[in-house]
Amino acid sequence: MLEKSIGLLFFLKKPKNYKKGSPKDLYLKVTVDGIPRELSCKRKWDPHRWSPKANKAIGAKEDAKELNNYLDTLRTMAYEAKRQLLDRGKMVTAGAIRNKISGAEEHSRKLLVLFKKHNDEMKKMIGNGVAKGTWTNFNASYNHTEEFIKFKYKVNDINILALDMDFIKDFYNWFLGEKQLCRNSALKNIANMKKIVLDAKDRGWLLSDPFAKFDNSRDEVNPTFLTMVELGRIAEKEIANERLRRVRDVFVFCCFTGLAFIDVKQLKRNEIVQGFDGEFWISKDRQKEGVLSQIPLLPICVDLLKKYENDPVCLAKEMLLPVLSNQKYNEYLKEIAAICNIEKELTSHVARHTFATAVTLANGVPITSVKDMLGHKTLKQTLHYARVLPIQISEDMRMLRARLLTIGFNGQQVILRQAS
């Protein structure tokens, strides 16, 4: 990189509402390749005791000596800032040197400053590769991080260079102890915060990941889903209360389509299409992943759409089904579980797990097809939703036995021959 010329000039500047004879503000002008930037020295000085030619305070008094020593320190800091920029392969500019001297660069590398900047940029991308729910989760993680830093260190923010294994372990224990979160919820928040740290590492602000050796493996969670018997009990239940009946209908629709809450809420008429087979399909991009999800509609789903085709509430809100807020929806699902004698806790997500496991996989639909209907990018995501049931394993092995017999093998005889 070519050597950059640097000029340093200390000068006095009149403050606002300046009165003649009073001290002036002392500034440093940093110039690199003819481009200047000014920096306040946070000092005031008497113009009569200042030498513009010598670029320093004049006189033998102690305060003048102290000021000149301070100015020498600022000069040294400026040349050191230039050296650091060159060593790191960064562009040497007057602004960059000024920021290093003032500490603005250090401020910009504080954890919460970086976290907020990340979240603000993410907010601008909502609907364009970023789901609103993802931004909400990162905002919640930011708030937790801010609360922990104030709780643990009694400060408003910390520099990313202060992050180490003690920080992450204390943060994790704080989640479990103070916030009463389970391990997986704690690790999810830590993972969001760690994204900011890894970005800082990628920018060269950290030499390594301070949390690399932290165990972030999550506990295996068996998702809740309904059996076909339980789903039938809900779908066929006579419900007099209109509010609960509407929520039940939306829930059943999700159980037979696998749509997430936000996707059924945003479902539009033009996303219901007639497929190559003459049947009706849902064809829409998932709000969370942005992946195209194509789902053939079962008869019960077609009937539910027809039921609310001319519903005044749906027409007014341009919705295909009467979907409430997620909070109200989950609240009313608890009432539905009670009146249908379902002991499992019903949530909007239970419907998606039910579709993946009881409705499709347990009835012979290949998991690759389930993946496409759920709108997943990878099969690993689908495996979290779909659980292979014992009845499905039994059916698969029954078919295997039948196939082996048709090609002349008896399973028991094969094992005996191998043993001998």
3-class secondary-structure state, position 225: coil
pLDDT at residue 244 in the model: 95
| pLDDT above 50 for 75 | yes
| pLDDT above 60 for 147 | yes
For residue range 311-356, list pLDDT tens digits in order. 998 998 889 999 998 889 999 999 999 999 999 999 988 999 899 8
For residue range 369-393, list pLDDT tens digits in order. 888 888 887 877 777 766 655 556 6
pLDDT tier at 167, thresholds 50, 70, 90? very high
| pLDDT above 70 for 413 | no
Mean pLDDT (the chain) is 85
Q: What percentage of residues in the chain have a pLDDT greater than 90?
A: 41
Q: Return all residues near 261 (Cβ < 8 A) that are at least 6 apart.
A: 254, 323, 326, 329, 348, 349
Mean pLDDT of 5-28: 88
Lowest mean pLDDT among 49-63, 175-189, 399-413: 399-413
pLDDT at residue 420 in the model: 40
| pLDDT above 70 for 196 | yes
Question: Cα 140 to the chain's mean position, in Å?
Answer: 9
| pLDDT above 90 for 419 | no
Integer Cα distance of 226 and 246 in angstroms: 19
What DSSP element (H or E) covers 186?
A: helix 183-202
Mean pLDDT of 32-60: 89
What DSSP element (H or E) covers 316?
A: helix 312-317
Instruction: Check: CB of residue 295 under 8 Å from CB of residue 372.
Output: no
| pLDDT above 50 for 416 | no
Q: How far is CA 153 from CA 144, 147, 207, in A?
A: 14, 10, 24
Q: For residue 24, which of 9, 38, 43 has the smallest C-alpha distance?
A: 43
pLDDT at residue 289 in the model: 60
| pLDDT above 90 for 233 | yes
pLDDT tier at 3, thresholds 50, 70, 90? low
For residue range 87-135, list pLDDT tens digits in order. 777 788 888 888 777 765 555 588 999 999 999 999 998 877 777 778 8
Q: How far is CA 83 from CA 28, 39, 88, 392, in A?
A: 19, 19, 9, 68
